[in-house]
Homo-oligomer: A and B are copies of this chain.
Amino acid sequence: MDLDLRPHEACGIVGVFGEPEAARLLYVGLHSLQHRGQESAGIATTTGDRTFNHRGMGLVSEVFDPAIIGTLPGDRGIGHVRYSTAGSSSLRNAQPFTAQSRHGPLSVGHNGNLVNTRSLRAELEREGALFQSSVDSEIILHLMARSTASRVEDQIVEALAQVEGAYSIVVLADGKVIGARDPRGFRPLVLGRTPRGSAIASESCALDMVGAGLVREIDPGEIVILEEDGVRSLKPFPSVRPAACVFEMIYFARPDSVFSGVSVYEIRKELGREIARQNPVPADMVVPMPDSGTYAAIGYAQESGIPFEMAVIRNHYVGRTFIQPASEERSVLVRLKHNPIRSFLEGKRVIIIDDSIVRGTTSRERIRILRSIGVREVHMRISCPPHRHPCHYGIDFPSPGELIASTHSVEEIREFLNLDSLAYLSLERMLRVIPGGGERFCDACFSGDYPVTPEAGLGKWVIEAEVSEGREPAERRADRRVFAHRDRTGPERRKSHA
Contacts and interface: CB of A to CB of B under 8 A. Distances in A.
A17 B318 CA distance: 24
A265 B341 contact: yes
A72 to B, nearest CB: 8
A284 to B, nearest CB: 13
Contacts of A258: 341-343
A130 B105 contact: no
Interface stretch (A60-68, A110-118, A388-396, A487-495): A60-68
Size bracket of the A interface: 35 or more
A461 interface: yes
B344 A265 contact: yes
A478 interface: yes
29 contacts: A24-B325, A31-B315, A32-B336, A32-B339, A34-B315, A49-B485, A56-B475, A56-B478, A60-B317, A63-B476, A67-B471, A71-B480, A91-B478, A91-B479, A94-B479, A100-B132, A100-B461, A101-B130, A102-B125, A106-B130, A129-B129, A209-B339, A211-B332, A256-B341, A258-B342, A265-B341, A266-B343, A302-B307, A474-B475
A34 B322 CA distance: 13
A242 interface: no
B125 A344 contact: no
A345 to B, nearest CB: 9
Given A65-B323, A472-B68, A343 B100 contact: no
Contacts of A482: 50-52
B480 A322 contact: no
Nearest to A97: B132
Interface stretch (A141-149, A274-282, A404-412): A141-149
A91 B129 CA distance: 21
A261 interface: yes
A363 interface: no
B28 A332 contact: yes
